């Protein structure tokens, strides 16, 4: 799954541009949530995105980045959070399509941080 997550690195700028263009009637759908929706759309049916997915992503991001100063990662450190959002959405889309079971999902989720650190320079190269 590491390699599948790595494919998101090359598409990151495009995916965040897509997230910026999403119009949502839900005020809580910030750029991170919209980024997760873009990730979800790789494999999942966006019409199936709902409150459960929103809550899962919000909790995941809150747990991963609670109190963290994203400038630690450089000028464009916020991209680290946004990449995590795209990646967790990507995994949720696979899960929704029954392409990942619970165990594979947990292992893949743990791999996101490794992908970020391996490709940190590319992920934080420019503003998203």
Asked whether residue 11 is domain-assigned, the answer is: yes
Q: What confidence score (pLDDT) does residue 2 get?
A: 84
Question: Per residue, what are the HEC states of 89-106?
Answer: HHHHHHHHCCCCCHHHHH
The tens digit of pLDDT for each residue in 72-84 reads: 888 999 999 999 9
Separation between Cα atoms, residue 9 and residue 13, nearest integer Å: 8
H helices of 11-77, where? 12-21, 31-41, 51-65
- Express as a percent the part of the chain with pLDDT over 70: 100
Separation between Cα atoms, residue 74 and residue 91, nearest integer Å: 26
Does residue 43 have a pLDDT over 90?
yes
Query: Stretch 115-126: mean pLDDT, rounded?
Result: 95
Asked whether residue 106 is domain-assigned, the answer is: yes
Asked whether residue 128 is domain-assigned, the answer is: no
Domain extent at residue 86 = 2-21+28-66+74-123
- pTM here is 0.94
**Could you tell me which of 20, 36, 26 has the C-alpha nearest to residue 85?**
36
- Six-digit token string for 30: 């910030």
Domain count, the chain: 1
């Amino acid at each position: 799954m590491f390699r599948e997550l790595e494919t998101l690195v090359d598409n990151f700028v495009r995916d965040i541009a897509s997230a910026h263009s999403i119009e949502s009637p839900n005020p809580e759908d910030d750029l991170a949530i919209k980024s997760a929706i873009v990730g979800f759309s790789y494999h999942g049916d966006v019409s199936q995105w709902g409150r459960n997915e929103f809550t899962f992503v919000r909790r995941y991001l809150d747990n991963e980045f609670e109190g963290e100063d994203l400038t630690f990662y450089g000028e464009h450190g916020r991209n680290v959070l946004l990449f995590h959002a795209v990646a967790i959405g990507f995994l949720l889309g696979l899960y929704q399509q029954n392409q990942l079971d619970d165990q594979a999902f947990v292992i893949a989720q743990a791999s996101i941080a490794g992908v970020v650190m391996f490709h940190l320079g590319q992920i934080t190269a420019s503003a998203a």
